[in-house]
């Protein structure tokens, strides 16, 4: 028997499990880089290309959102899990570098399904008063996936080899896809097939309007600012703490772990906060605080060394994680019913930020040093906060019913 719409916790749990796998697979290859280098005689560029093609699916999220509307979110979710994990398993069978890249592209294409299908399922199954908590749990699952991948894949590869590691984790995902397909009910259903021609034309017109709505464009800018900052921290923190804070790059990796761990805690807390307070206010307050703390560190106002770095990056991570469920509520409210396409648009914008950030910030570092790069990261968080403040004030975007009815929950749950 499938999970019914009266059991939203089960839907949230299954979707969150898929999100865990999505993020887990995104970080499955870096622990294997030494072995892949030896197996295929790769340099750093070849290894970097593996990670680049993993992200190809991020640019396919808008079409995936349209597919959600046509065939239903459950089907897209299950197929996404299966294709992503199948690509990972196929990579474990690769006998050459081109085959490895091809399998990685397949896995990346499967990644396109997650955000549009996930958020549509969560929106359909969850009551508005608990939507923030659902989004928070979902995002937390992704962060746990980020944290688990290096440990699990690295341990499997050390015990067996890299091929066995990829086959094992890919096979686990295929089993999960089968489980979700059997257990989860289609809580979001596709549009009726009657009058298919006129319905499809109307759907395409509505999707085009969604893409061009001012609020969606503004939120896309917000996503770019968030991701530029997060990607910059994830890429250059070890170098920054070594150059500016008198620590080793190995310590920088530990600082980065603290950042993501605090971010995961912030996400869980943010799910509760998003249901009780205006999500605009949550996002603006948290991101402004995180930006200010990071700018103070860059300016040398807080000192240096581990006693400064660890608590400071924990605070910034908390400030980054806390507004993520509120971010998702803002997007859901702006969707005008086409949740899958809307999330596809904004996460495609996030993919652009993810691609641009390392190159842009790396160029800044080459020219002026890590301090300037981290000042730019602080600025990107502040820009994201400013965009939401302007949206709330009605200076940018548009006033709609969905924008003006995002109210805190009256429940004490």
Model pLDDT for residues 133-157, shown as the tens digit of each residue:
777 788 888 878 877 777 788 889 8
Q: Whose structure tokens read 């605070």?
A: 315
User: What is the pTM assigned to this prediction?
Assistant: 0.66
**% of residues, the chain, pLDDT over 90:** 27
**% of residues, the chain, pLDDT over 70:** 82
pLDDT greater at residue 218 or residue 253: 218
Whole-number Å distance between alpha carbons of 389 and 332: 18
What structural domains and CATH numbers belong to the chain? 8-184 (1.20.1250.20), 207-396 (1.20.1250.20)
Whole-number Å distance between alpha carbons of 247 and 118: 40
Structure tokens belonging to residue 331: 């997007």
Given a cut of 90, is residue 107 above it in pLDDT? yes
Confidence at 79, pLDDT banded by 50, 70, 90: very high
How crowded is residue 83: how many other Cβ atoms within 10 Å of its Cβ? 22
Q: What pLDDT is stored for residue 411 in this prediction?
A: 38
Q: What is the pLDDT of residues 161-220, one digit of tens each?
A: 999 999 999 999 999 999 999 888 777 666 544 444 444 555 555 555 555 667 788 888
> For residue 363, what are the contacts with CB-CB under 8 A and spacing of at least 6?
none
DSSP lists the bridge partners of residue 372 as none
132: nearest Cα among 410, 283, 324: 324
Q: What is the pLDDT of residues 262-307, one digit of tens each?
A: 888 888 888 788 878 888 999 999 999 999 999 999 988 887 888 8
Q: Is 369 exposed, middle or buried (0-12, 13-18, 19+ CB in 10 A)?
A: middle
Given a cut of 50, is residue 312 above it in pLDDT? yes
């Amino acid at each position: 028997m499938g999970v019914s719409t009266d059991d939203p916790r089960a839907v949230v749990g299954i979707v969150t499990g898929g999100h865990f796998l999505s993020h887990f697979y995104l970080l499955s290859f870096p622990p294997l880089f030494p072995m892949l280098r030896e197996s295929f005689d790769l340099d750093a560029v070849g290894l970097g290309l593996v990670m680049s093609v993993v992200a190809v699916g991020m640019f396919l999220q808008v079409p995936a959102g349209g597919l959600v509307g046509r065939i239903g979110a459950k089907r897209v979710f299950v197929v996404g899990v299966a294709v992503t994990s199948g690509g990972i398993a196929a990579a474990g069978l690769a006998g050459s570098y081109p085959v490895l890249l091809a399998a990685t592209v397949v896995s990346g294409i499967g990644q396109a399904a997650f955000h549009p299908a996930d958020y549509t399922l969560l929106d359909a199954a969850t009551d508005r008063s608990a939507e923030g908590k659902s989004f928070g749990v979902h995002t937390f699952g992704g962060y746990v996936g980020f944290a688990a991948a290096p440990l699990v894949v690295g341990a499997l590869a050390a015990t067996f080899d890299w091929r066995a590691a990829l086959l094992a984790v890919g096979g686990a995902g295929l089993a999960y896809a089968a489980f979700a397909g059997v257990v989860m009910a289609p809580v979001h259903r596709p549009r009726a097939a009657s009058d298919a021609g006129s319905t499809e034309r109307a759907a395409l017109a509505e999707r085009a309007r969604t893409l061009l709505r001012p609020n969606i464009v503004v939120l896309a800018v917000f996503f770019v600012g968030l991701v530029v900052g997060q990607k910059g921290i994830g890429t250059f923190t070890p170098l920054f703490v070594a150059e500016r804070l008198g620590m080793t790059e190995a310590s920088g990796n530990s600082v980065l772990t603290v950042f993501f761990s605090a971010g995961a805690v912030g996400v869980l807390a943010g799910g509760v906060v998003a249901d009780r307070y205006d999500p605009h206010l949550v996002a603006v307050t948290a991101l402004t605080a995180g930006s200010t703390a990071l700018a103070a560190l860059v300016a040398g106002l807080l000192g240096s060394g581990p006693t400064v770095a660890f608590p400071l990056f924990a605070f910034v991570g908390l400030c980054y994680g806390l507004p993520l469920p509120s971010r998702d509520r803002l997007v859901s409210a702006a969707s005008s019913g086409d949740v899958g396409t809307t999330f596809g648009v904004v996460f495609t914008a996030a993919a652009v930020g993810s691609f641009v950030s390392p190159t842009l910030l790396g160029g800044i570092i080459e020219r002026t040093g890590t301090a300037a790069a981290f000042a730019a990261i602080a600025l990107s968080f502040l820009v994201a906060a400013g965009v939401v403040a302007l949206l709330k004030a009605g200076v940018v975007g548009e006033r709609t019913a969905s924008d003006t009815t995002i109210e805190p929950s009256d429940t004490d749950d």
